[in-house]
Structure formats: C-alpha cells, structure tokens
Amino acid sequence: MTQTLGITVDNISVTYNNARLALYDASCQVQPGTITGLVGPNGGGKSTLFKSIMGFLEPNQGRVSIDGLPIQQAQKRQLVAYVPQADEVDWNFPVSVWDVVMMGRYGYMNLLRIPSPKDRRLVRESLARVGMMDFCNRQIGELSGGQKKRAFLARALAQEAKIMLLDEPFTGVDVKTEKAIIDLLLQLRDAGHTILISTHDLASISTFCDRVILLNQTILASGKTEEVFTEENLAMTFGGLPIRGKGGKEERKKVIGNR
C-alpha cells in the first residue's frame, strides 16, 4: 500500500483585489485517513483556504500540495473532490441530478465525454448511497436543501477521489440529513479517504472530526480534536484578539501554546 500524504498547506497568504487581507502565513497539514474539521468565524478565511487548496485562486505566497503533488497534477489524477457551498451553485441551471453526478466522471472519460457502462454504474451506486436514486430525473432546483447537498455529495462519490473537501455541508440541512451525511463521511474515512470539512456547526464537531484546524485569518491551532477543540481555543478563535499583522498571530500562538 502506498503511503498517502494528505494535504500540505505551506505558508499561504491571500490578499483580494480590494486589498483585503483574507489569509496570511497559513500553514497546516491534513492527515491522511482522517476527518478534519476547519473551524473559524465567518470572514475568517475558511472559504479562501479551501479555494487556495483547490487552486481556484492563486495565493500571493505559499504552496499547497496534495499527496506530495502540485494541485493541478493531483486534480488530473482525480485525487481531490470538492463539494461546493449551496450559494455557489446556479440552481436554475437546466441540468438533472443524474447529469450533475455524471459530471463527477468526466475526468475519466474520453474527450467527447461519452459515459461507459462503468460510469453509469458508478453514478447509480453513488446516487443510491446518498438515497437520491428516486430523484435522479429532477432538475436540481426542484430539490430540498438536504437533497441538494446529497446530490453534490453523490457527484464527489462518483469521482472516486481519495481526498474530499466539503465547504459548509450542513447549512440549510435538517438534522436527519446532517446525521446521514456524517455517517457517510465516517464510512468514507474508514475506507481510507481523507476528508476536510469546513463548518460553523460547532456542536457536531467533536462527534465525528478526528482533527480540528482553527482558523481566523491564519492557522491558530491544529491537532487532535480533544487537544485543540477546547473552550479556551475557541474563545481565542472567535474572540477579539488583534487579528491583523504578525504581532497578532504570534500573540495568539503564544496564548494557545501556553495552554
């Protein structure tokens, strides 16, 4: 069995066009075979970090590697799947659930993207796994919040990627669906997948995340959930310490480190 390296984020800084500093000197590791929760306040850079990892935006400094490979190469090898936030999707687009899940297979198809029997089988299996087979002919806008999430989860499953990134998968989702998604993530982890999930649903973190990364414009702490996911650290992450400039970061690290 080959040793997988998970995700390595090395000293990333991102400043947006409007000169807003979104992320600075962020470094962290996502360990293979774990579920890692990315936790931080709104505007704390969670989505920016995700987009940097996926190569959707070019950081001003720093590097990301996935399984030891640069992002683009890892993506060409279908190593990474990404489940977008609900508000990143055009729900009026004229595609069916089946079409969307089939898009997870495009990377395996020839240039004309003609699905093979295997592609069809995997789409069916993925849909069945999230309990969405009955809705496969629906236009995506005709789904409930939870069904929408499950449809995109099925797309990620169909892609058969070892690493999965989920951006806020529990927003607009009922408790039952949230539990179903968590069960699925646990199964995937036990099958050797690496999962990075951003959420501000703090209550459920300790029930399924093996590790936690705390983020507020930079990585404040990361490690095993029971060690890092403490009340003091959370107060630090969501609280009012100075957050701009290196001083703020050092100060926070010191405080967190001392605990």
Partner 1 sequence: MILDWFTAPLQYGFMVKALWVSAFVGIVCAVLSCYITLKGWSLMGDAVSHAVVPGVVVAYALGIPFAVGAFLFGFGATVAIGYVKENTRLKEDAVIGVVFTGFFAFGLVLSTKIPSNIDLFHILFGNVLGISQGDIIQTLIAGLITLVVILLRRKDLLLFCFDPNHAKAIGLNTKLMYYTLLLVLALTTVTALQTAGIILVVAMLVTPGATAYLLSDRFDRMLAISVGTSLLSCILGVYLSYHLDVATGACIVVLLTLLFVAAMIFAPKYGLLSQLRLNKLYSQ
80 is a site residue for partner 1 (CB under 8 A): yes
Least distance in angstroms from the C-beta of 162 to partner 1: 13
Burial annotation 156-177 (CB, 10 A radius, 16+ → b, else e): bbbbbbbbbbbbbbbeebeeeb
Q: Point out which span in 73-81, 190-198, 209-217, 236-244 binds partner 1 (CB under 8 A).
A: 73-81
Burial annotation 178-213 (CB, 10 A radius, 16+ → b, else e): bebbbebbeebbeeebbbbbbbbeeebbeebbbbbb
Q: What's the CA gap between 161 and 75, in Å, rounded?
A: 9
The residue among 228, 209, 203 whose CA lies nearest residue 166 is 209
Q: What's the CA gap between 99 and 140, in Å, rounded?
A: 9
Binding partner 1 (rule: CB under 8 A), the pick from 68, 93, 144, 245 is 93
For partner 1 (CB under 8 A), the number of binding residues is 34
Binding partner 1 (rule: CB under 8 A), the pick from 5, 69, 86, 89 is 89
Binding partner 1 (rule: CB under 8 A), the pick from 3, 18, 42, 258 is 18
Contact flags string 215-244 toward partner 1, x per CB under 8 A: ------------------------------
Task: Considering the complex, state which of residue 51 and residue 249 has its C-beta at the smaller distance from partner 1.
Answer: 51
Binding partner 1 (rule: CB under 8 A), the pick from 68, 70, 76, 202 is 76
The amino acid present at 148, given as its one-letter code, is K
Q: What's the CA gap between 28 and 196, in Å, rounded?
A: 12
214 is a site residue for partner 1 (CB under 8 A): no
15 is a site residue for partner 1 (CB under 8 A): no
Within 105-144, the residues that bind partner 1 by CB under 8 A are 106-107, 111-113, 139, 141-142
Does residue 199 contact residue 170 with C-beta atoms inside 8 Å? yes
Sheet holding 21-30: strands in order across? 21-30, 7-15, 61-66, 69-70
Residue numbers at the binding site for partner 1 (CB under 8 A): 17-18, 54-56, 72, 75-78, 80-82, 84, 88-90, 93-96, 99, 103-104, 106-107, 111-113, 139, 141-142, 155, 159
